Amino acid sequence: MSGGARILVVEDNPQSLELVEFLLEEAGFRIVSAANGDQAREILEDLVPDLVLMDMQLPGTDGLTLVGELRRRPELRDTPFVALTAHALRGDRERFLSGGCDGYIAKPIDVGTFVDVVRGHLSPAESEGPR
């Protein structure tokens, strides 16, 4: 994929979304964003992303509930879901992973490792991108 993998970012915090978009676009990924579950559902009617980055603290349907719901869509069965969360409570990581997330990134985002962590959840062909 010459244009890089397509990543859906579901994040209601504008500053956090701006940072995530900046880092991923600079790394050659194509970003589509949603601020809540309804927007994400609508986007996913037309798009099968290569990866979904999901804020766990969303207005309306919370992130983990949304992951559980979207996971049941056959076309998203093999799509990695990576949780983004400001909460770092004991047991959260296990709760997110057992709830259908493939990985977990804590906020505030570590700009030195963020892209590599995302890349690590993509298949080798998808993570190739312009440098």
Residues that bind Mn ion (CB under 5 A): 12, 55, 57
| C-beta of 33 vs 57, nearer to Mn ion | 57
Minimum distance between the CB of residue 12 and Mn ion, rounded to whole angstroms?
4
| C-beta of 32 vs 84, nearer to Mn ion | 84
- DSSP codes of every residue in 56-109: SS-SSS-HHHHHHHHHTSGGGTT--EEEEES---TTHHHHHHHTT-SEEEESSP
Minimum distance between the CB of residue 13 and Mn ion, rounded to whole angstroms?
5
Minimum distance between the CB of residue 120 and Mn ion, rounded to whole angstroms?
23
Establish how many alpha carbons lie within 13 A of residue 66's alpha carbon, considering only the half-sphere containing its beta carbon. Answer: 29
Looking at residue 50, what DSSP letter applies? S
| C-beta of 5 vs 64, nearer to Mn ion | 64
Residue nearest to Mn ion (CB): 57
Establish how many alpha carbons lie within 13 A of residue 52's alpha carbon, considering only the half-sphere containing its beta carbon. Answer: 31
| C-beta of 17 vs 118, nearer to Mn ion | 17
Minimum distance between the CB of residue 84 and Mn ion, rounded to whole angstroms?
8
Asked if 92 contacts 113 with a C-beta cutoff of 8 angstroms, the reply is no
